Structure 1
Amino acid sequence: MQLQLRNIELESTILPREVKTISYQVRPTSRGVYAFERCHAMVQRLGLFERKFTLNEPLRLACYPSFIQMRKYQLLATTDRLVELGIKRIRKIGATLEFDHIREYVRGDEYRHLNWKATAKHKKLLVNQYQEEKSQPIYALIDTGRVMRMPFNGLTLLDYAINSTLVLANAAILKQDRAGMLTFSKTVSDHIPAEKRNNQMQLISEKLYNVTTDFEESEFGNLYAFCNKHINKRSLLMLYTNFETIDALSRQMAYLRMLAKTHIVVVVVFKNTELIDMAKEEGQRTIDVYNQIIAQKFVYEKHQVIQELHRQGIQTIYTSPENLTINAINKYLEIKARGLL
């Protein structure tokens, strides 16, 4: 899809040796690269004759994903109003802490943090001071295979995954973690190592704005081999994909289990809300009953997929596409609070 204006004419009067700029506005409807090809201009002189000029200066412009959700999260995070966005307040369970320094004991300090060796050496109570562990790697693994082409409210599942990745990466960087991403189908591409530098969000946006899906089945074996080689530190891997059937999951389960041995893997499974609504409808005609039974079968298979992932110890996000971003951030905060990384 390209930006093209074919139904309007732009007219202007230009004096001899005058330079004039004619402006118009267009609104892109999806992310990607938009090409402006050759421009045709008809110049009329004295109302008697006209001449056609063709300007051979094609232009390509990048249209980036929407930053509205990301900016909204950033604003509410700085004003401590994330509950308005649907972000849950999660009580910290245990602690994921790293050593900072040794200091003198003061009343109220936890006894388990007492440093007995330093206490014996200095003949006064000393405790270890800890701080919450930061700079933990957070990766978004985005499936660009055919399962992500499914449309929903004008966007594909891939579009929802990209929007969620931008918000999640920004949230991780705000919490002093390191954000990275990669896309995969037959092979792995668009890899950005997890970092928290100032231009990290710009790098991620540059990689994601022109990502498209293909009609091939994704190779999770290649994904595992790449992660095993390039992601060495234990990381949170947010896997954006969509298993429609238990058979599709079974073909990839071995690779997911191997990933889960060294990383925290969270698999996103999308709800098909149209099928759920169809499964609940009371059929009046025979064809309606058939459609209801088929819809119930697919809904049941989705629940089987979730149960099998849980049985294998792999965390999941079962969500409708429009709620993906909020649920992904909630899962990230939950994992941080539970100290699983």
Structure 2
Amino acid sequence: MKKVFSLFYKNLFLTNRLFAGLTLCVVVFLFGFFFKWLGIIPELVFYTLILLILVDVLMLYNTSKGIFARRHAPERLSNSDDNELGIYIENLYSFTTTIGIIDEIPFQFQKRDVWFKTTLLSRQQKQINYFLRPTKRGEYEFGDIRVYVRSPLGLISRRYTFEQAETLPVYPSFLQMRKYELMAISNRLSEVGIKKIRRLGHSMEFEQVKNYVPGDDYRTINWKATARQGSFMVNSYTDEKSQHVYCVIDKSRSMQMPFDGLSLLDYAINASLVLSSVALIKEDKAGVITVGEKIGSVIPADRRPVQLNRILEVLYKEKTRYLETNMEALYSTVRSVIKQRSLVVFFTNYESMSALQRQLPFLKRIAKFHLLMVVFFENTELKAISEQPAKDVENIYIKTIAEKFANEKKVIVKELAKHGIQSILTAPKNLTINTVNRYLEIKARQRI
């Protein structure tokens, strides 16, 4: 009995409507003190309110299961994307209810206002959808769902607690990967900014002999097939396949810098996942190497169907290290793992020329055997500062320093080009598009 009363007490909440009724009673009693002609009206108002409260309690507590709620969530969440979740709610009462719902989302989101309000008719069901955008990989723990129910009287509110505790992993941006994947399959990559690169010359990958159509290159006419068929026939070529594409991800402290809630490491991981997906669709082989003060994960290039899942599982666990990148270990790994000429995309970040000079000897050695492309980031905040007009002497100094650092990034690009190393200097938000664009350009120009 004590336990039942405790549950009743803990789940009973007073509403603003009840406090308004009590305020009315106080006012009527006050007037009754000065105006004797009111008689027993104040008592009638008070006892009427008490009766309505008892009726409201009876309506809400006459059943143990008046409401049912359940969270609908995916098996895993996609980092940096809007992930859709839902709450299924069903009214089992015989009357219309006003419902407030609190979903206890993980603390990583730092949100305390996930509150939904709705009205349900008797036996009505409803699905309430909302979106969450995680900015860090890892495990996110969801709590219970708490539902606050009011009857049409609305004097009290009863709380229902549904134990929906679950842990969802947040993986690298697989939603972004799927979007690019579908667009690559349907040749619609231009919709997200991927350029169509004109193929220069012909690759060595012969595809088929087909009928000539207006617009085909006259140089591809197959004269022997034309003589046999009696009509123009042309050779059709396709991009070379089974080329190796490796994404090398730097995990050192320089990749911890945050932009729009995501670290540079997360941007690099998301871009690597998309690039690997596009490479596999183009029938190339994709692989991944991660490096910090020591070599992390190594996935040899392959194009089997399970390769993308292997890459996804490995990148999910990667975290930033806080020491310098061990370039000697990276060079040794590249030489031992990558046996043929490949495209090596090195995601890193340089803030100064001295940082590049420490790594340049190893980059030049890798570039002797492979097509090396170094991808690093613009400091968008410094760029914004340098573009603002200076209002006083202090702002002039700040703007000058910002322009100096921004210009040093451009000098790094020229220094890499001087040694035959390709590079991409990009804002974090444009990383994926710029990287895929350069990969498609390299394939079109047959540079690998």
TM value normalised by structure 1: 0.77
Q: How many residues align?
A: 298
Deviations 1:90-131 (CA, angstroms, capped at 9, x unpaired) = 000123314689x9xx9x88589999xxxxxxxxxxx99965
Describe the SS at the equivalent of 1:339.
coil
Aligned residue in 2 for 1:182: 289
Aligned residue in 1 for 2:257: 150
1:263 to 370, 375, 378: 370
Spell out the pairing of 1:209-228 with structure 2 (5 A cutoff). Answer: 209-228=316-335
The 1-side partners of 2:266 and 2:204 are apart by 36
8 Å CA contact 2:140–2:170 kept in 1: the answer is no
CA RMSD of aligned residues (A): 3.4
Aligned residue in 1 for 2:314: 207
Spell out the pairing of 1:224-235 with structure 2 (5 A cutoff). Answer: 224-235=331-342
Describe the SS at the equivalent of 2:197.
coil
Greater Cα radius of gyration, structure 1 or 2: 2
Return the letter of the residue paired with 2:357: S
Describe the SS at the equivalent of 1:190.
strand
1:76 Cα offset (Å): 2.1
8 Å CA contact 1:279–1:296 kept in 2: the answer is yes
Describe the SS at the equivalent of 2:317.
coil
Name the structure, 1 or 2, with higher relative contact order (CA <8 Å, separation 6+): 1
The 2-side partners of 1:35 and 1:328 are apart by 30
8 Å CA contact 1:31–1:209 kept in 2: the answer is no
* CA 1:113–1:181: 2 relative to 1, 3 Å: farther
Aligned residue in 1 for 2:440: 333
Aligned residue in 1 for 2:243: 136
8 Å CA contact 1:28–1:63 kept in 2: the answer is no
* CA 1:70–1:22: 2 relative to 1, 3 Å: closer
Aligned residue in 2 for 1:237: 344
The 2-side partners of 1:10 and 1:110 are apart by 82
8 Å CA contact 1:143–1:240 kept in 2: the answer is yes
Structure 1 stretches of 5 or more lacking a match? Answer: 1-8, 40-57, 116-126
Spell out the pairing of 1:308-319 with structure 2 (5 A cutoff). Answer: 308-319=415-426
* CA 1:280–1:112: 2 relative to 1, 3 Å: same
Return the letter of the residue paired with 2:432: T
Return the letter of the residue paired with 1:301: E
Aligned residue in 1 for 2:182: 75
The 2-side partners of 1:284 and 1:111 are apart by 63
* CA 1:163–1:37: 2 relative to 1, 3 Å: closer
Aligned residue in 2 for 1:122: none
The 2-side partners of 1:133 and 1:287 are apart by 56
The 1-side partners of 2:355 and 2:292 are apart by 15
1:279 Cα offset (Å): 1.5
8 Å CA contact 2:287–2:299 kept in 1: the answer is yes
Aligned pair 1:89/2:196, yes or no? yes
8 Å CA contact 2:352–2:409 kept in 1: the answer is yes
Identity %: 40
The 2-side partners of 1:82 and 1:111 are apart by 27
Spell out the pairing of 1:231-310 with structure 2 (5 A cutoff). Answer: 231-310=338-417
Deviations 1:146-166 (CA, angstroms, capped at 9, x unpaired) = 110111011111111011011
Return the letter of the residue paired with 1:157: L
The 2-side partners of 1:10 and 1:168 are apart by 52
